[in-house]
Every structure is written in C-alpha cells, then in structure tokens.
Amino acid sequence: MPRRGIIKKRKTQPDSFYNSKIIQRFINLSLMKGKKTTAERVIYNAMEIVKTKTKEDPLKAIEKAVENARPVLETKSRRVGGATYQVPIEVPIERSTSVAVRWLLGFARARSGKSMEEKLAAEIMDAMSNRGGAIKKKEDTHKMAEANRAFAHYRW
C-alpha cells in the first residue's frame, strides 16, 4: 500500500489514425528516447506492410496477433518458509494485453532483418498464424505454470 494515497490507473487514449487503443499501446511501448513520431511511423509502416502481404485489415491483423500471443497463466515467485515457489496465477486481461504487445515488440527487435517495420510486420504475421517468438514465449510460460500447478495452493 503506497503511503501517499491510491494511485489512479491512467487510461490510454486511442491513436489518431486508426482510433485504436492497441495501436497506441504499440506506439507507446516502441518509443526510443522519446521519439514518438518515429515510433508512429514505424508502427504505421509495419501495418501497411501487413496490409499488402495479407490482403486484410491491418487493425484486425494486429488484434488477432495480440490475441494469439496473450498469456492466460503465468508464474509469480512466493516465498514460503525459507523456500521460493513459482506459483501459477491467472493473468488479468489488461496485463496479458500489455505482456503480449511487449513480447511482440521484443521479438521483432531481436529478429534479423532490414528495418524495424519489416521485422515487426513479420512478427505480427507469424503471431497471426500461431508461430514466432511471442507465441513460443506464451507456450513456455504456460508450460511453466502447468509444471508448477502443485504450488497453486500458495496463491493469495
């Protein structure tokens, strides 16, 4: 509990071009050194690449990619009597969306490719078809939670 009162949750305003909160999350999380216009250009160009390659609405494509990469379970460390257990917990929808966007951007940055737009577009298209680094990370997280299911009673 913070000493200075309760911190209000800030709402993300939708982006100006697609009027979507998920796109704004992508833009905000892909910022480097506060250069928001550069981040917007990268995201919008990646969406154009997705549009030309998949021949479908890029907003629907990103929503599907985020939905596929969104984790349902994760593990949190709990210290019980001198031992630390990985306790599986369900992930709230806000956090799961944020984690999925973070994973998509992180694995897009780690890809080998020419530009960030192409790398991000490739990661989004892979996530749409349940492939790629973000999907593998989600599956690994779920496997870890399943493996530690015996410690679920330590949840509080």
Q: How confident is the model at residue 151 (pLDDT cuts 50, 70, 90)?
A: confident
- pLDDT value, residue 150: 84
Centre a 10 Å sphere on the Cβ of residue 77 and count the other Cβ atoms it contains.
8
CATH 1.10.455.10 fits 21-154, yes or no: yes
Q: List pLDDT tens digits, range 108-120.
A: 999 988 899 999 9
Show Cβ contacts of residue 112 under 8 Å, excluding neighbours closer than 6 positions: none
Residue of 1, 154, 132 whose CA lies nearest to 75:
154
Residue of 90, 51, 45 whose CA lies nearest to 71:
90
Q: List pLDDT tens digits, range 34-85.
A: 999 999 999 999 999 999 999 989 999 999 999 999 999 999 888 888 888 8
Show Cβ contacts of residue 103 under 8 Å, excluding neighbours closer than 6 positions: 69, 133, 134, 137, 138
- pLDDT value, residue 120: 94
- pLDDT value, residue 12: 86
Spell out the domain ranges in the chain. 21-154
Q: Give, in order, the Cα–Cα distances in Å from 58 to each of 2, 46, 77, 105, 131.
A: 41, 9, 37, 16, 18
The mean of the pLDDT values for the chain is 91
In the block, tokens 């919008």 appear at: 44
- pLDDT value, residue 79: 87
Q: List pLDDT tens digits, range 93-147.
A: 999 999 999 999 999 999 988 899 999 999 999 999 999 999 999 999 999 998 8
